[in-house]
C-alpha cells in the first residue's frame, strides 16, 4: 500500500473504529494483493453488526463524509452492487470504494481480502467460513452469444452507426476476448483489466480489434475479434457443441456488409 493509501486508510479506520456498529474493515483489490500503485483505488469492505445494517446502509454518505474531504459519492447499482458506495475524496485526491456488508455476508466474496482493523476477531472468524471465488467466464455462455453479437455489430457498421460499433467492439473485448485471455494465463478474468501486465502478448493481439471511426476500420476490427475468438474458443470445443451454424451465418452476413459500398 502506498503512503497516500495508508494515510487515507488510517483516517477511515479512525472514523469506523469509533462507531460501535462496525465490526471490522478489510482491504480488497490491489491494496490487498500488494499490487497497489499511485493510480490504484482504495477498496474496502466494511462489516456491520447485522441488527444495525439497515440503518448504517442508509447513513453511508454521512459516514463517508466524516472520513475526509468527500467531493462526491454514489452507490454501485450500475455494477450490480448496491451495497457499494463509490467515493471521491480530496487531499489527497483518491477514489475509494466502501462496500458496507452485514457481518455474515462478508464470508461470500469474489476477491481475497486483508483485514486492516477488526473488533474482537469476529471478522476473521467470518472470513474463515468462506473463501474468495471470482466468477470464471463460462466458455459455453460466451459461445452461445458471440455469433449473435458479431451479427449485431455488423448491422451497426452496415447502417453507418459507427459510434455504436466502436462501443460494441469494446464490449466484445471486455465480455469475451479479455476474460478468455486472462483465464488462459491463470489471472483473474475481469474484462481486460491489467491485461497489458498479466498477458502482454495477448494485449498486443487485441490492438487489431481497436477501430477508428471509419467503416473499413470497424470492419477490420470486427474481423480481428472473430479471428481471436476462434483461437480462444478452440481449447473448449471438445467439451462443448460449437455454434457452427450461427458462426457461418454471422460471418456470411459480415462478408456481405463488407462487399457493399458505404452508405
Pair 117, 156 in one domain: no
Pair 144, 122 in one domain: no
Which CATH number fits the domain that encloses residue 255? Answer: 1.20.120.330
User: What is the rounded distance in angstroms from the CA atom of residue 189 to the CA atom of residue 72?
Assistant: 29
Pair 181, 227 in one domain: yes
Pair 102, 197 in one domain: no
Pair 8, 119 in one domain: yes
Pair 119, 207 in one domain: no
Which CATH number fits the domain that encloses residue 94? Answer: 3.30.460.10
Pair 155, 84 in one domain: no
| Residue 132 within a domain | no
Section 163-170 average pLDDT: 98
| Per-residue pLDDT at 237 exceeds 80 | no
Overall pTM > 0.85: no
| Residue 133 within a domain | no
Pair 97, 29 in one domain: yes
Is the CB of residue 165 less than 8 Å from the CB of residue 156?
Answer: yes
Q: Which residues of 73-105 are buried (b: 16+ CB within 10 A; e: fewer)?
A: beeeeeeeeebbbbbebeeeebebbbbbbbbeb
Please report which confidence band the pLDDT of residue 240 belongs to, taking 50, 70 and 90 as the band edges.
low
**What is the tally of structural domains in the chain?**
2
| Residue 134 within a domain | no
User: What is the rounded distance in angstroms from the CA atom of residue 29 to the CA atom of residue 69?
Assistant: 23
Pair 110, 174 in one domain: no
Supply 8's cell numbers.
Answer: 487515507
Please report which confidence band the pLDDT of residue 131 belongs to, taking 50, 70 and 90 as the band edges.
confident
Q: Which of 97, 127, 157 finishes a domain?
A: 127
Pair 153, 244 in one domain: yes
- pLDDT at position 41 is 94
User: What is the rounded distance in angstroms from the CA atom of residue 196 to the CA atom of residue 200?
Assistant: 5
Q: Which of 127, 151, 169 finishes a domain?
A: 127
| Residue 48 within a domain | yes
Q: Which residues contact 226 (CB under 8 A, 6 or more apart)?
A: 150, 251, 254
Question: What domain range includes position 123?
Answer: 3-127
Q: Which of 103, 127, 151 finishes a domain?
A: 127
| Per-residue pLDDT at 235 exceeds 90 | no
Pair 143, 123 in one domain: no
Amino acid at each position: 500500500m502506498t503512503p497516500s493509501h495508508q494515510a487515507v486508510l488510517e483516517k477511515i479506520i479512525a472514523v469506523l473504529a469509533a462507531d460501535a456498529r462496525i465490526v471490522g474493515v478489510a482491504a480488497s483489490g490491489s491494496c490487498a494483493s500488494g499490487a497497489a500503485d499511485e493510480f490504484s483505488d482504495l477498496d474496502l469492505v466494511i462489516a456491520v453488526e447485522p441488527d444495525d445494517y439497515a440503518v448504517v446502509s442508509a447513513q453511508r454518505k454521512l459516514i463517508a463524509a466524516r472520513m475526509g474531504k468527500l467531493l462526491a459519492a454514489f452507490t454501485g447499482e450500475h455494477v450490480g452492487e448496491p451495497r457499494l458506495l463509490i467515493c471521491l475524496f480530496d487531499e489527497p485526491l483518491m477514489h475509494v470504494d466502501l462496500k458496507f456488508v452485514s457481518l455474515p455476508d462478508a464470508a461470500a466474496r469474489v476477491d481475497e481480502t486483508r483485514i486492516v482493523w477488526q473488533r474482537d476477531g469476529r471478522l476473521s472468524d467470518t472470513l474463515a467460513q468462506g473463501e474468495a471465488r471470482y466468477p470464471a467466464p463460462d466458455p459455453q455462455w460466451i459461445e452461445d452469444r458471440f455469433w449473435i453479437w458479431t451479427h449485431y455489430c455488423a448491422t451497426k457498421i452496415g447502417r453507418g452507426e459507427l459510434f455504436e460499433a466502436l462501443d460494441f467492439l469494446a464490449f466484445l473485448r471486455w465480455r469475451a476476448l479479455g476474460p478468455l485471455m486472462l483465464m488462459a494465463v491463470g489471472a483473474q478474468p475481469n474484462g481486460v483489466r491489467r491485461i497489458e501486465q498479466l498477458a502482454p502478448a495477448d494485449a498486443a493481439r487485441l490492438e487489431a480489434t481497436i477501430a477508428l471511426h471509419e467503416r473499413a476500420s470497424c470492419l477490420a476490427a470486427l474481423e480481428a475479434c472473430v479471428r481471436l475468438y476462434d483461437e480462444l474458443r478452440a481449447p473448449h470445443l471438445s467439451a462443448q457443441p460449437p455454434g457452427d451454424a450461427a458462426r457461418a451465418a454471422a460471418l456470411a452476413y459480415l462478408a456481405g456488409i463488407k462487399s457493399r459500398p458505404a452508405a
